[in-house]
């Protein structure tokens, strides 16, 4: 037999390997992506991405994700559109002034790509997003302009072990970076004494937020927003495809000198963000709006014993007590949501002393309040503690409400 002869099956295999698949560019909006060897459009279609912030950076990221065919977007922002936003935000128009940024960005993204499913939330992400949200998204992209929100995302992602992509810019400068729990430095590792001092300026000596904190607007340009937003989207794409990224490293762009360079941050061994909630136990019968504090404590004790307590991951302001003996005022809200002016006694004008706690022991007078009524967001994860043992319980009954996309 001729050794150079090729069997019919081998010929078919060779022909199959040499076939060129021509994308249907007339009917498939994602057709040209198919020319990229590693591209997986189905992975993108199945992905859910959280975009925190819908300003100039958020606009660019949302626009990019919509064009790329990411399946579901969850957009969170607390702000409304003003005239100055129109020069930097590609998704906003003149008639949108006064409207919610998250809503307008979601509508514009849907118009750009009808395949997209979008859910938008108008509010402070530090108050609106339960930890279970971070468990259920494939990528988190921070398009923020303040340290507190970044720190919140960083700690949330660390607790559930998920990476996130941060972006920052000022004038002609910008930076994009990936933070991944256990792989290099996290966002809080990058903070220095001046950063903590700046955050502390927001609070009075009694830990209540000040009513008026002068915050300057950070000057930015749409060109830098496009560059940094593009880099953030690119890093998210790599995460969604399981490709290599460089956690704990920032890619810095200097538009004044056209310099681009990487900076690697050192890991802080005692960083407060480095805390994992594991394992997290899903509780389909529990929800923030329906479950009372007493019911939650009962659930914890059924699983951990009668001496277990419920730990909150925030300080709960129970009441204000007047130093001159006037009747106390019940508050029952997280300390960070109560302004400094609320500490003034309405009768005598004196400062009132705040009573706060982060542990529910079962003797409280407010056990019939729902979890939502004391500021716990939907789909959050609560802590049960018995001695030195902690377990983590998710309000899984909120999943269908939170992840309801249109």
Distance of alpha carbon 304 from alpha carbon 287, whole angstroms? 20
DSSP string of 39-101, one letter each residue = --HHHHHH-EEEEE--SHHHHHHHHHHHHHT-SEEEEEE--B--GGGGGT-TT--GGGTTSBH
DSSP string of 237-251, one letter each residue = HHHHTT----TTEEE
For residue 261, how many other CB atoms are within 10 A of its CB? Answer: 9
For residue 3, the model assigns a pLDDT of 46
Q: Are residues 242 and 108 in the same domain?
A: yes
| DSSP 8-state secondary structure symbol assigned to residue 203 | B
Asked, for residue 4, whether it belongs to a domain, the answer is: no
Residue 73 near residue 65 (C-beta atoms within 8 A): yes
Asked, for residue 136, whether it belongs to a domain, the answer is: yes
Q: How far apart are the first and last CA of the chain?
A: 65
Q: Which pLDDT tens digit goes with each residue over 349-371?
A: 999 999 999 999 999 999 999 99
pTM of this structure: 0.89
Asked, for residue 35, whether it belongs to a domain, the answer is: yes
**pLDDT 10s digit of each residue in the chain, 406 long?**
454 455 655 655 555 455 556 677 788 999 999 999 999 999 999 999 999 999 999 999 999 999 999 999 999 999 999 999 999 999 999 999 999 999 999 999 999 999 999 999 999 999 999 999 999 999 999 999 999 999 999 999 999 999 999 999 999 999 999 999 999 999 999 999 999 888 877 655 555 565 544 444 678 899 999 999 999 999 999 999 999 999 999 999 999 999 999 999 999 999 999 999 999 999 999 999 999 999 999 999 999 999 999 999 999 999 999 989 999 999 999 999 999 889 999 999 999 999 999 999 999 999 999 999 999 999 999 999 999 999 999 999 999 999 988 7
Q: Are residues 329 and 255 in the same domain?
A: no
Range of the domain at 63: 31-264
Beta-sheet pairing, 249-254 with 173-179: antiparallel
Distance of alpha carbon 398 from alpha carbon 47, whole angstroms? 20
Q: Are residues 115 and 172 in the same domain?
A: yes
Q: Are residues 84 and 188 in the same domain?
A: yes
Q: Are residues 251 and 364 in the same domain?
A: no
Q: Are residues 100 and 131 in the same domain?
A: yes
For residue 232, the model assigns a pLDDT of 98
Q: Which pLDDT tens digit goes with each residue over 24-69?
A: 778 899 999 999 999 999 999 999 999 999 999 999 999 999 999 9
Asked, for residue 405, whether it belongs to a domain, the answer is: no
Q: Are residues 190 and 135 in the same domain?
A: yes
Q: Are residues 104 and 212 in the same domain?
A: yes
Asked, for residue 1, whether it belongs to a domain, the answer is: no
Asked, for residue 275, whether it belongs to a domain, the answer is: no
């Amino acid at each position: 037999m001729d050794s150079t002869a090729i069997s019919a099956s081998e010929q078919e295999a060779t022909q199959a390997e040499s076939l060129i698949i021509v994308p249907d560019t007339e009917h498939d909006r994602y057709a040209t992506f198919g020319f990229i060897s590693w591209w997986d459009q189905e992975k993108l279609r199945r992905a859910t991405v959280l975009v925190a912030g819908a300003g100039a950076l958020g606009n660019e990221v949302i626009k990019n994700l919509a064009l790329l065919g990411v399946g579901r977007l969850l957009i969170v922002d607390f702000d409304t559109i003003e005239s100055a936003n129109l020069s930097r935000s590609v998704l906003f128009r003149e008639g949108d002034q006064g409207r919610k940024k998250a809503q307008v960005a979601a509508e514009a993204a849907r118009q750009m790509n009808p395949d997209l499913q979008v859910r938008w939330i108008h509010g402070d992400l530090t108050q609106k997003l339960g930890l279970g949200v971070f468990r259920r998204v494939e990528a988190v992209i921070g398009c923020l302009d303040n340290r507190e929100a970044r720190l919140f995302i960083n700690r949330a992602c660390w607790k559930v072990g998920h990476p996130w992509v941060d972006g920052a810019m000022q004038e002609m400068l910008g930076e994009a970076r990936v933070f991944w729990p256990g792989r290099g430095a996290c966002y809080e590792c990058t903070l220095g004494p001046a950063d903590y001092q700046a955050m502390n300026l927001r609070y009075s000596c009694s830990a209540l937020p000040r009513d008026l904190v002068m915050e300057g607007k950070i000057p930015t340009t749409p060109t830098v927003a496009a560059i940094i937003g593009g880099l953030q989207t690119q890093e998210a794409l790599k995460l969604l495809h399981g490709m290599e990224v460089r956690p704990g490293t920032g890619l810095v762009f200097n538009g004044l000198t056209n310099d681009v360079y990487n900076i690697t941050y050192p890991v802080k061994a005692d960083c407060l963000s480095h805390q994992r909630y594991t394992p997290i136990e899903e509780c389909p019968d529990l929800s923030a709006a329906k479950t009372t504090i007493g019911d939650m404590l009962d659930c914890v004790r059924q699983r951990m014993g009668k001496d277990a307590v419920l730990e909150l991951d925030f300080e709960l302001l129970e009441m204000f007590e007047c130093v001159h003996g006037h009747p106390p005022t019940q508050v029952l809200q997280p300390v960070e949501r109560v302004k400094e002016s609320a500490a003034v006694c309405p009768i005598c004008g004196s400062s009132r002393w705040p009573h706060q706690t982060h542990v529910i022991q079962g003797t409280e007078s407010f056990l019939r309040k729902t979890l939502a009524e004391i500021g716990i967001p939907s789909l959050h994860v609560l802590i049960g503690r018995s001695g030195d043992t902690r377990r983590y319980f998710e309000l899984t009954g909120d999943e269908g409400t939170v992840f309801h996309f249109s």
